[in-house]
Amino acid sequence: MKPDLNAAIQPLVVGLNAVIFAASEGELKVLVTESVEGGEPAMPFGPFNPSAHRTFEIGLREWVRDQTGFELGYVEQLYTFGDRGREAPLAALAGAQDARVLSVGYLGLTPDARPLNNTEAHWDSWTRFFPWEDHRTGRPSILTKVIEPALRSWCDEAAAPGRRAARFDRVRATFGLDGALWNEERALDRYELLYEAGLVAEAARDRGEPNAAPEGMGVAMASDHRRILATALSRLRGKIKYRPVVFELMSDSFTLSDLQRVVESVSGFPLHKQNFRRALDRAGFVAGTGRVESQTGGRPAELYRFARENLTAGAALGLSIPRAKEG
Amino acid sequence: MKPDLNAAIQPLVVGLNAVIFAASEGELKVLVTESVEGGEPAMPFGPFNPSAHRTFEIGLREWVRDQTGFELGYVEQLYTFGDRGREAPLAALAGAQDARVLSVGYLGLTPDARPLNNTEAHWDSWTRFFPWEDHRTGRPSILTKVIEPALRSWCDEAAAPGRRAARFDRVRATFGLDGALWNEERALDRYELLYEAGLVAEAARDRGEPNAAPEGMGVAMASDHRRILATALSRLRGKIKYRPVVFELMSDSFTLSDLQRVVESVSGFPLHKQNFRRALDRAGFVAGTGRVESQTGGRPAELYRFARENLTAGAALGLSIPRAKEG
DNA sequence: CAGACTTATGCTCGATATGAGCATTTCAGG
DNA sequence: CCTGAAATGCTCATATCGAGCATAAGTCTG
């Protein structure tokens, strides 16, 4: 009953992994470092040094600064990844050996993709890694032409009929097949399902087999970085619905169309412009500045700013728990 | 630029920390283990053994079973705690020394608080630890009589007037003072603020000072376990609004009043019965079983079950992102 | 320089959802 | 058989949501 923590002291390395998003020209971009070797892109990561860093966040900010010359703004912890099997590719990438590698993933948001003082890091649209997640101009053809048929035959591969049905239910709910809704927040579930079905390059790579993924399934990343990126995308897509985090991606003043484009780029589907605006000012999130931006190609748009001061109330909730008056 | 993970290998222990909730008699309970020494209650925790456990979850389920004889059901990762300063009390509790201790917190849900085969662990209502969070019968008096005055004077202690205002804004939004709304999801923020203001016993204890917390501020827990519990409560309170996780706390059949009592116990405020029911069947979450429960003291209530099969759609969303038709 | 085109912004309408009550049903107990 | 305690059923005013129409104010093109 008395747990002995000392028993657990053994080769164990904790890394910090940063998914850093910025918006630029209305597109959500992620900070990508070209891999040291092997050609697979990665995201900034580095060791957590227990003796030097009082908290994860301090460590993270420090080496992100060192690696990319970049000062992090909003930061939140994502998830801690600790499955065995992660270490092999990570060790190859970083030189660590014979140690179990955990990583604590962080999501960082920052307004505007500033140029970087480091040639190994650059901003890349997330759509390169998840082409099937971008529904802004309709359901992507990779979904209908490649993924759906491939997943249907993956379902059929299951031996027992019961397992086939279970697989299909999962595919249906996750990918919004046969009339089920596409839920943009399930980006991580989709990536994991594709991995399981062997439709992304990482699946075969991690088993040491030759690539078996179809064309067009996005760019593979080192280690499990693409899974981490999917985690971040899912989290961000969920969070913008109940916390005003989008504004962390905007500069001080912006037009409502700018804001809408960023939200669309995050969510991956188009918004209804008028209703989006109505919701914005009902919530009191933005305030006009009086100034206008006239480089829009049409009628000049007013510049707005984030109205931090209005957020005192409960400016964001979910639904369906009907609160009663004080009992 | 090339991070060297080996540099980080040094005394580092990873623990797994479980917050296990169950519902019993319409009350949300948490699994508490009486501390080995010192008398402070704790929650189940144990070392993560990298060589024995392929994943955190496997490790967690294993030693929870060993420690409490209890088989975990629904499990989700909460947060990873790694601030320096945690290790001292944890080490004292577990015998580890000279090592930085991280813990990966997990939330586990399970229907019905079954009796435990271990006398050191028992089920306890969460309200013992957070009396100020229970608004089911109105705003608790500890809030109005003790916490609010104490926090107001804490605000005044700040030297600069600007800092006073900032403190007060934070207190106001977090505790719903002066007309601001009480947001039940901010349980963690409230605990952290109380800690900062020295109003919970852990604050002085962690600095090695004599207890300075007022009476009635709930039971202190070992190490940072109460913070972890607050994290779990906040997470659960948020999650029930957009995922049907409450049903993980219910047994196979239940009356709608049972369900409502559990939701109320989680959220900490009373619900409007009729509207709660209307929302339930609009969402299609439950299905009647035809059987009735007649031990209710009034008209017998129909027994319902969770309608898993109806969940294919997007049976849960947040708000305010007005989705447009296909672009 | 007028008319076409683009983008911003305003407004309306019907369908739903939400917050709050009132009314009826169906047991257990005296 | 009357009464109290729940459980259920219904209604209504108001707020919100999804859609579409209309107008305003610039740039661009011929």
Mutate to test the interface with B, among A1, A246, A259 (most CBs of B within 10 A): A1
What is the predicted pLDDT for the residue at B210?
A: 95
Residues (pLDDT < 70) of chain A are 1-10, 35-38, 85-98, 113, 117-119, 296, 310-327
Q: How far is the CA of A184 from the C1' of D23 (A)?
A: 35
| CB-based contact A86:A101 (threshold 8 Å) | yes
B87 pLDDT band (50/70/90 cuts)?
A: low
Q: Looking at the predicted structure, is the pLDDT value of residue B202 above 90?
A: yes
Q: B319 vs A317: CB contact, 8 Å cut-off?
A: yes
Considering only the beta carbons, identify the residue of B97, B319, B322 that sits closest to A319.
B319
* CB-based contact A180 B82, cutoff 8 Å: no
The verdict on residue A75 lying in a domain is yes
Which nucleotides of strand C are protein-proximal, with an atom < 7 A from a CB?
5-12, 17-22, 25-28
Band of residue B90 on the pLDDT scale cut at 50, 70, 90: low
- Residue nearest D5, CA–C1′ metric: B298
Residues in chain A: 327
Phi, psi values for residue A48, rounded to 5°:
-95, 120
pTM, 2 dp: 0.87
Taking the C-alpha atoms of residue B57 and residue B62, their distance in angstroms, rounded to an integer, is 8
Footprint of strand D on the protein (CB under 7 A): A 272, 274-275, 278-279, 282, 294, 297-300; B 255-257, 273-274, 278, 292, 296-302, 319-320, 322-325
The pLDDT value given to residue B315: 46
The stretches of chain B forming alpha helices (DSSP H) are 56-68, 87-94, 141, 148-157, 161-175, 187-196, 201-206, 225-239, 256-267, 273-283
Residue among B286, A190, A203, A158 nearest A166 (CA): A158
Contact A95 B136 (CB under 8 A): no
In sequence order, the 6+-apart residues with CB closer than 8 A to the CB of A53 are A59, A62
Q: Convert the pLDDT of each residue in B256-307 to its tens digit.
A: 999 989 998 999 988 888 888 888 888 788 888 888 887 767 788 899 998 8
Whether residue A25 is found in the same domain as residue A115 = yes
Same domain? B152 vs B112: no
CB–CB contact B323 A283 (8 Å): no
Q: Could you tell me if B25 and B116 lie in one domain?
A: yes
**Parent domain of A280:** 244-312
Q: What is the mean pLDDT of residues B81-93?
A: 64
> What is the CATH classification number for the domain harbouring B284?
1.10.10.10
Q: With contacts defined as CB-CB under 8 Å, which chain A residues touch B83?
A: 54-55
* Residues in chain A closer than 8 A to B275 (CB atoms): 322
The band of B88, judged by pLDDT with boundaries at 50, 70 and 90, is low
Indicate if A140 and A109 belong to the same structural domain: no
| Domain stops at, among B85, B105, B128 | B128
**The pLDDT of residue B162:** 86
Query: End-to-end CA distance of chain B, in Å?
Result: 43
Measure the CA–CA gap between A45 and A59, rounded to whole angstroms. Answer: 11
Q: Is the CB of A308 under 7 A from strand C?
A: no
Closest amino acid to nucleotide C5 (CA–C1')? A298
DSSP-derived secondary structure letter, A120? T
Alpha-carbon distance of A112 to B97, in angstroms, equals: 45
Residues of B with CB below 8 A from A283's CB? 320
Contacts of B181 in chain A (CB under 8 A): 313-314
Chosen domain end from B100, B128, B156:
B128
Contact B104/A82, CB-based, under 8 Å?
Answer: yes
Same domain? For A100 and A32 the reply is yes
A159 and A69 housed in the same domain: no
**A296 CB contact with strand C at below 7 Å:** yes
Residues of chain A contacting residue B80, judged by C-beta atoms under 8 Å apart: 56, 77, 80, 104
In-domain check, residue A324? no
Tell me the DSSP string of A221-234.
-STTHHHHHHHHHH
pLDDT at A3: 45
Contact B222, B89 (CB under 8 A): yes
Strand partners, A24: A27
Indicate if B74 and B143 belong to the same structural domain: no
Q: Do A84 and B9 make contact, defined as CB atoms within 8 angstroms?
A: no
Residue B229 lies in a domain: no
**Inter-chain CB proximity A13 and B8 less than 8 Å:** yes
**Top-confidence range, A109-123, B67-81, B216-230:** B216-230
In the predicted model, what is the mean pLDDT of chain B? Answer: 83
A30 and A90 together in one domain: yes
Task: Write the pLDDT tens digit of every residue in B308-317.
Answer: 776 654 444 2
B45 found inside a domain:
yes
> What pLDDT shows up at residue A192?
96
Structure tokens at B110: 């399970």
The nucleotide whose C1' lies nearest the CA of B274 is D8
Cβ A186 vs Cβ A231: under 8 Å? no
Task: Quote the number of domains for chain B.
Answer: 3
Arithmetic mean of pLDDT, B179-190: 87
Q: What is the pLDDT of residues A249-286, one digit of tens each?
A: 999 999 999 998 999 899 998 888 888 888 888 888 88
- Tell me how close the Cα of B217 comes to any Cα of chain A, in angstroms: 22
Cα nearest neighbour of B85 on chain A: A54
- Please give the Cα distance from A151 to A148 (Å, whole number): 5
> Using the CB atom, is residue A324 less than 7 Å from strand C?
yes
Domain membership of residue B209 (yes or no) is yes
Task: Decide if A319 and B317 are in contact by the 8 Å CB cutoff.
Answer: yes
Cβ within 8 Å, pair A275-B322: yes
B33 strand-pairing partners: B42, B121
Concatenating the DSSP letter of every residue in B90-114 gives HHHHH---SSEEEEEEEEEEESS--
Pick from A202, A218, A234: which residue ends a domain?
A218
Whether B107 and B166 map to the same domain: the answer is: no
Is the CA virtual torsion B74, B79, B80, B82 positive or negative?
negative
- Kindly list the residues from chain A whose CB atom is less than 8 angstroms away from the CB atom of residue B311: 173
Q: Hey, is A104 helix, strand or coil?
A: strand
Name the burial class of residue A219, with classes exposed (0-12), middle (13-18) and buried (19+) by CB atoms within 10 angstroms of its CB: middle
Per DSSP, the residues of A46-86 read EE--TTT-SSHHHHHHHHHHHHHS----EEEEEEEE--TTS
**pLDDT range class, residue B89, cuts 50, 70, 90:** low
User: pLDDT tens digit string along B4-40?
Assistant: 444 444 577 888 999 999 998 889 999 998 766 668 9
List chain D nucleotides near protein: any atom < 7 Å from a Cβ: 4-11, 16-21, 24-28
Domain membership flag for residue A171? yes
pLDDT for B317 equals 27
Could you report the per-residue pLDDT of B102-151, keeping only the tens digit for each? 899 999 999 876 777 666 788 999 999 999 999 988 889 999 999 999 99
